[in-house]
Amino acid sequence: MSGSAMTLVEEPDRLRAALSPLRRRLLDRLRTPASATRLAAELELPRQRLNYHLRVLERAGLIELVEERQRRGCTERILRATADAFVVDPTVMNESFTAMGDRYAAEHLVGVAAGTVREVTRMQAAAERSGTRLLTFTIEADIRFAHPGDVHRFSDALADAIARTAAEFDHPGGRPYRLVAGGHPRPRLSKGD
């Protein structure tokens, strides 16, 4: 078992280290510890080439040494991924995602979603380290608007309903939660959608 279920990747250099198809395969495979010799045989790759990629992943902190074993006069290194899943901070991909304040702007939604990914991933990792569960909730719904102006009327009505409900449950000494509600056109899945 690897170090944690999820790890947030928020440094561009760490992301670049994991981008090649071979390195992504190695990260996936190394959820279970293995040696370079075993990996080279499984992937049918020269060990020198494989070792190069393993060193890059290790320097980036994406894999780690689990143990060293003596084998036929050599030291065999057993490696594993530092997490079962790596979540990429969306702002690493595009630094222009900023909270613009316009709740109807796609950039604002992406910026808020990026912040949510970053915050929840960090809190989930901290909860795992402390052996606790991170209590979250998700509400999803599909809505079909008849007219473009209905989007604005709906979001205003939803904001009012959320403000009323939040005021009912808000307690000064309670544990603070952040509620994020966003909407975007649903991608078409098929012709009949």
Q: What are the residue boundaries of the structural domains of the chain, listed by start?
A: 4-86, 89-169
Cα 86–88–92 angle (5° rounding)? 150
Going from the first residue of the chain to its last (193 residues), give the mean pLDDT of each consecutive group of 10, the final group possibly shorter. 69 79 90 93 91 91 91 88 81 49 68 83 89 90 90 88 90 89 78 60
Q: What is the 3-state secondary structure (H, E, C) of 138-157?
A: CCCCCCCCCCHHHHHHHHHH
pLDDT digits (tens, 9 = 90+) for 118-173: 888 889 888 988 999 999 988 888 999 999 889 888 988 998 898 899 889 989 99
Nearest-CA neighbor of 86 among 52, 108, 117?
Answer: 117
pLDDT at 7: 81
Match domain 4-86 to its CATH number in 3.20.20.190, 1.10.10.10, 3.40.1190.10, 1.10.1060.10: 1.10.10.10
Helical ranges in 44-191 per DSSP H:
47-59, 90-93, 106-130, 148-169
Q: Given strand 74-81, what is the order of strands in its sheet? A: 34-35, 74-81, 63-71
pLDDT at 93: 54
Backbone angles phi, psi at 117, to 5 degrees: -60, -50
Measured between its terminal Cα atoms, the distance across the chain in Å is 41
